[in-house]
């Protein structure tokens, strides 16, 4: 009888101890479920991402929030946003960290300043390694703004013709832009004709590059979707800034079997500062332009572009 009583008392004591651990146990269970939920969300994002939007960031605290919000608020939800901080010295990184809980946002950091091309390459490598169903990669500069339906409509148009490159219109107008250095839509914008170029040879691809990038004076990458397969062959030249967009597009056009242009104005390009530049910066720009040309020639020779076309560049 006494043995039973002792056993009963021990059981009660054990149950009281267990009861005292209930709050901690419940918290642990909740944390486990939350971790599982977050990981499932990440896996869902990785499986469903069709477009990766890469934003190189360097000292743009004044405009960064409006830029990132315009991407997060896209009507197409199957996008992932990769924000690459290139060692900013202002509050840009602190602003980016406000978005880190968003499961569609990934923040990457450089340990030292490497330049915009390197930041884009960092984002590209991450996107290709993480998103197995990724169709396109695109870019936004961290002081610009895009329309809320940009990627929904652009993605639909690209899929319609299985485009390797989809280019859309851009301008320098937006209600939030203060004067924007006095530029209007005609001076600071670009509106391509509605057309599709497909199954064309290397000579025609060079011609398309000249007509749509060089002659327009608008060889940008942020007004385009690029097929992921292009980035399995080329990245941005990190020794070029400016003119990295020109060089990249020259190499991308050669690899694109289908290029589509639509006249929709989706991108708003902010321009500020002295646009003329001093003599030193102009001399540097000319040297970089020549370096860009040498990179293009080297790449086009590898791709067996006709010699007469290479000579024109």
| Domains of the chain, earliest start first | 49-312 (3.90.550.10)
Least confident of 6-15, 88-97, 226-235: 6-15
- My answer on whether omega of the bond before 242 falls inside 30° of 0, hence cis, is yes
Residue 62 reports pLDDT greater than 60: yes
Q: Say what the pLDDT of residue 187 is.
A: 46
* Inter-CA distances, 258 with 63, 71, 72, 261, Å: 35, 26, 29, 10
Query: Could you tell me the pLDDT band of residue 4, with boundaries at 50, 70 and 90?
Result: low
The whole-angstrom separation of Cα 31 and Cα 128 is: 31
Q: What pLDDT band is residue 94 in, cutting at 50, 70 and 90?
A: very high
Q: Establish how many alpha carbons lie within 13 A of residue 1's alpha carbon, considering only the half-sphere containing its beta carbon.
A: 0
Numbers of helices and strands, H then E, in the chain: 11, 9
Indicate whether 155 pLDDT > 60.
Answer: yes
Q: Give me the pLDDT at residue 285, please.
A: 82
What are the pLDDT digits (tens) for 239-285? Answer: 988 789 999 999 999 999 999 999 999 999 998 754 434 455 788 88
Give the lowest-confidence range in 52-56, 91-95, 132-136, 309-313: 309-313
Q: What per-residue confidence (pLDDT) applies to 218?
A: 78
Q: Which residue has the higher pLDDT, 217 or 172?
A: 172
Angstrom CA distances, 273 to 88, 91, 150, 180, 181, stand at: 19, 20, 27, 9, 7
Query: Residue 47 — pLDDT band, cuts 50, 70, 90?
Result: confident
pLDDT at 303 over 60: yes
Which of 21-35, 108-122, 244-258 is least confident? 21-35
Q: Give the Cα separation of 235 and 17 in Å (integer).
A: 61
Q: What local confidence, expressed as pLDDT, does residue 284 receive?
A: 84
What is the reported pLDDT for 30? 56
Matching residue, tokens 């409509």: 153
**Rg of the chain on CA atoms, in Å:** 26
Residue 217 pLDDT grade (very low, low, confident, very high; cuts 50, 70, 90)? confident
In angstroms, the CA 82 to CA 225 distance is: 15
CA atoms 234, 221, 111, 108: torsion sign: negative
Q: Locate tokens 């005292």: which residue?
A: 20
Q: Which position has the higher pLDDT, 40 or 22?
A: 22
Task: Single out the residue of 57, 120, 139, 122 nearest to residue 91, CA to CA.
Answer: 57
24: CB partners within 8 A, 6+ apart = none
Alpha carbons 171 and 186: distance in angstroms, whole number: 8
- Range with the largest mean pLDDT of 25-29, 57-61, 308-312: 57-61
Residue 185: predicted pLDDT = 43
Give Cβ neighbours of residue 218 (< 8 Å, ≥ 6 apart). 170, 190
Phi, psi of 197 (to 5 degrees): -110, 120
Q: What is the pLDDT of residues 171-199, one digit of tens each?
A: 887 767 765 544 444 445 667 778 999 98
């Amino acid at each position: 009888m006494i043995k039973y009583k002792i056993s009963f008392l021990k059981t009660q004591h054990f149950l009281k101890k267990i009861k005292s651990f209930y709050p901690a146990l419940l918290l642990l269970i909740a944390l486990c479920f939350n971790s599982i939920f977050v990981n499932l969300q990440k896996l869902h994002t990785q499986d469903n991402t069709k477009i990766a939007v890469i934003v190189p960031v360097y000292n743009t605290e004044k405009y960064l929030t409006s830029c990132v919000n315009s991407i997060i608020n896209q009507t197409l939800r199957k996008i992932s946003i990769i924000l690459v901080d290139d060692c900013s010295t202002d509050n840009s990184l602190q602003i980016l960290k406000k978005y880190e809980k968003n499961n569609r946002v990934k923040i990457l950091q450089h340990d030292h300043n490497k330049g915009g091309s390197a930041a884009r390459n960092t984002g590209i490598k991450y996107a290709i390694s993480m998103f197995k169903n990724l169709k396109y990669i695109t870019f936004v500069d961290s002081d610009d703004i895009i329309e809320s339906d940009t990627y929904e409509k652009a993605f639909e148009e690209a899929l319609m013709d299985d485009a390797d490159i989809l280019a859309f219109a851009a301008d320098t107008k937006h209600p939030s832009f203060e004067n924007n250095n006095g530029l209007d839509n005609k001076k600071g914008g670009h509106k391509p004709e509605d057309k599709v170029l497909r199954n064309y040879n290397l000579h025609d691809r060079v011609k398309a590059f000249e007509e749509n990038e060089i002659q327009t004076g608008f060889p940008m990458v942020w007004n385009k979707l690029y097929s992921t397969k292009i980035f399995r062959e080329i990245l941005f030249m990190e020794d070029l800034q400016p003119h990295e967009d020109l060089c990249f597009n020259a190499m991308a056009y050669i690899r694109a079997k289908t290029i589509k242009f639509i006249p929709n104005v989706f991108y708003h390009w902010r321009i500020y500062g002295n646009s003329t530049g001093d003599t030193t910066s102009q001399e540097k720009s000319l040297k970089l332009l020549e370096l860009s040309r040498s990179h293009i020639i080297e790449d086009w020779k590898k791709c067996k572009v006709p010699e007469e076309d290479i000579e024109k560049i």
